[in-house]
Amino acid sequence: MKRSRLALAIAALPLAAAAESSLDYEQALKLPNTVVTASRTAQDSKETTAAVTVFTRDDIERLQPVNVADLLSRVPGVQVQQSGGRGSSTNIMIRGTSNAQSLVLVDGVRVGSASAGGASLQHLNLEQIERIEVLRGARSAVYGSDAIGGVIQIFTRRGSEGLQGRVRVAAGNKGLWERSLGLSGGDQQTTFNLSASLDEMSGFDRTHKSFDSDADHDAYRNKAFSFSLAHAFTDRVKAGVNFLEQRGKTEYDNPYGRSDSNWVAHPAEPYDKFKVSSVSAYFDVQATDQWNTKLTLGHSEDKSSNYDKLFAGVDDFNTYRDSATWLNTLSLTEQHSLLFGADYLKDKLRSTGDFTKTSRWNQAAFIQHNYRGELFGTELGLRHDKNQQFGNENTWNAALTIPFDQNNELTVSYAEAFKAPTFNDLYSQYPDISFYGNPSLKAETSKSFELLLKSQLSENVSVESALYRTDISNLIASEYNRSNGITKMQNVKKARINGFEASLLHKVYDLDGSLNISIIDPRDRKSGHQLPRRAKRTLSYDLDKQLGAFGMGATWKLASSSYNDDKNTKTIAGYGTLDLRGSWQANDELGFDLRLGNIFDKGYTRALYNYKVNSETYSYGYREDPFTIRLGLTWTPNL
């Protein structure tokens, strides 16, 4: 895992190199010390003014996470909230913001649900992923809507010169089987990658054993396929396409299942059939030595069909997104660079639910200036969004970087951001329960301040720490009107999130360590209550050692208690887990890996559900992964 490191000499970073890195965008995705998400172009990690965590393919294979959520839980300031084990509904919360207040991209294309907001990260298969970047902090001046808490960008597998196959098989308890195949290769002009995988798990019962509705094991099945192709027509003209699709079935429990008058449960045995996909095509031209221009077209789909034995029919919620981006980077001098461009996005919703409108578009233009000098650096970005529903939204960000010496620098930044209301917020209609969306809603808006300190304490020890405050206004929530009995979505809430996070990377006695700490105070500014399902303190520590062909490591995670509800009446207990891992590279082509998850079989939960028995309310937590074991074999023959 690599993070932004201090520039040893800021003045020695000529921005003419930025144009070159834009040209080598695809190659940059395989380099650990580059960042793409901060400015939408490839740049040296030392140039970024934001806190960014990068997971390369090597990191993914070394850390052996079970899924994307497990990997992201290592990032400082990131919390994961699940409703059970693998494949269950998953929320990723960056710096105390909600799941829908962070933007998720796959190969530069927006993914997620236009009806509920947020992306289905629980279905993204790690075997299809080359790299993940996590930017913490507001970035709407570059990306527009949703980038209040941060941006998560996922890059699918890429090819390289030569020809190499990939075969992986893994098995574990709880009926786990993982299988994947891949082929990648190319030459100096053209590279490609093909990958396919199938994951299956019989699972475990996700709800508490004392509630016998749906007291069964909840299985999961995920089929994934990805394809990438990149071609250089000349040294200055490149084009490519990236495709990713995941589809399958996940079973879950309905803790609110029906019961007869004698409290005999009638299991619903619900399950969800899903499809999550994205495709992007780009045309990249280095027009001059100073100017690079890139056009990207994208399409993504998020489909969910919910089935339930106790209810007739199927609930469908299908999102289709079309996008286009024109991006330009201009190196004005060795110290000044300019980023400018335009975005177009159209959302379409197809659902069995009743919505007054099922499509909308958004147009945007943006510009950002960067300056890097010997004494200081600056960044100033502006963006204007025009939305078909709620009109215009302007956002901006500014940053000042001051290097104290060659090993320490401080960045002071301010950013404004927004999140557009979802289709559920705006257009949903459920007259049988007197619930309605509100087409007059405003966008949620935020203002963020941050102090970011980067320090290289020694050759083998670096620290990155951030102190921040985020104020969010016009938060959207349901409001009940007692006079007419109608519940309607309204802009009724405000929140303030104060936080501190720190990352320590070290290599001592051939031990590679990564310690991440986060402390937040997320508050509703009207009630003073803590925002639900946010732990105020989290910690993760990865420690690895390589002994020739053998590798071993451990991951320790801690989270403090939190509240399940807005009124802070239901407490979710804190927890700690320990995972162990090992690997053996038998030869250049054959490797084995072993993962022991939650080795102390710690029972814990990150979300509660309630149900009533004879007017009494009971609360139980969705069960998370118990002790798990996984043994894998990977064969990578050179063909």
pLDDT, mean of residues 138-167: 96
Q: By percentage, how much of the chain surpasses pLDDT 90?
A: 70
Residue pLDDT, tens place only, 363-374: 999 999 999 998
Cα–Cα distance measured from residue 527 to residue 1, given in angstroms and rounded to the nearest whole number: 39
Confidence of residue 261 (pLDDT cuts 50, 70, 90): very low
Residue pLDDT, tens place only, 485-496: 888 999 988 999
CB atoms within 10 A of CB 590: 14
Among 66-75, 320-329, 443-452, 604-613, the minimum mean pLDDT is found in 604-613
Q: HSE (CB half, 13 Å, CA atoms) of 142?
A: 29
DSSP label of 574: P
pLDDT, mean of residues 247-253: 85
Whether the pLDDT of residue 3 is over 50: the answer is no
Residue pLDDT, tens place only, 551-599: 999 999 999 999 998 999 999 999 999 999 999 999 999 999 999 999 9
Q: Which of 477, 576, 580, 579 is nearest to 535 (CA)?
A: 576
More confident residue, 220 or 140: 140
Whether the pLDDT of residue 469 is over 90: the answer is yes
Cα–Cα distance measured from residue 344 to residue 298, given in angstroms and rounded to the nearest whole number: 10
Q: How far is CA 470 from the centre of its chain?
A: 19
What is the structure's pLDDT at 625? 86
Average pLDDT score over the chain: 89
Q: Is 535 helix (H, G, I), strand (E, B) or coil?
A: coil
- If you average pLDDT over each of 225-229, 506-510, 606-610, which comes out highest? 225-229
Confidence of residue 34 (pLDDT cuts 50, 70, 90): confident
Among 46-55, 78-87, 305-314, 345-354, the minimum mean pLDDT is found in 305-314
Domain annotation for the chain: domains and CATH numbers: 31-635 (2.40.170.20)
pLDDT, mean of residues 286-300: 96
Looking at the DSSP bridge assignments, the partners of residue 530 are 523
Residue pLDDT, tens place only, 86-130: 888 899 999 999 999 999 999 999 999 999 888 999 999 999 999
Q: Where are the alpha helices (DSSP H) in 79-198?
A: 140-143
Q: How many residues does the chain have?
A: 639
Cα–Cα distance measured from residue 441 to residue 571, given in angstroms and rounded to the nearest whole number: 32
Tokens 């834009």 belong to 22
Residue pLDDT, tens place only, 422-456: 999 999 888 877 888 999 999 999 999 999 999 99
Beta strand pairing call for 511-524 and 486-508: antiparallel
Q: How far is CA 372 from the centre of its chain?
A: 30
**Beta strands in 205-290, from DSSP E residues, in sequence order:** 218-232, 237-251, 271-286
Cα–Cα distance measured from residue 393 to residue 357, given in angstroms and rounded to the nearest whole number: 21
Confidence of residue 16 (pLDDT cuts 50, 70, 90): very low
What is the structure's pLDDT at 254? 66
pLDDT, mean of residues 231-239: 96
Whether the pLDDT of residue 244 is over 90: the answer is yes
Cα–Cα distance measured from residue 229 to residue 189, given in angstroms and rounded to the nearest whole number: 11
pLDDT, mean of residues 201-222: 73
Beta strand pairing call for 336-351 and 359-372: antiparallel
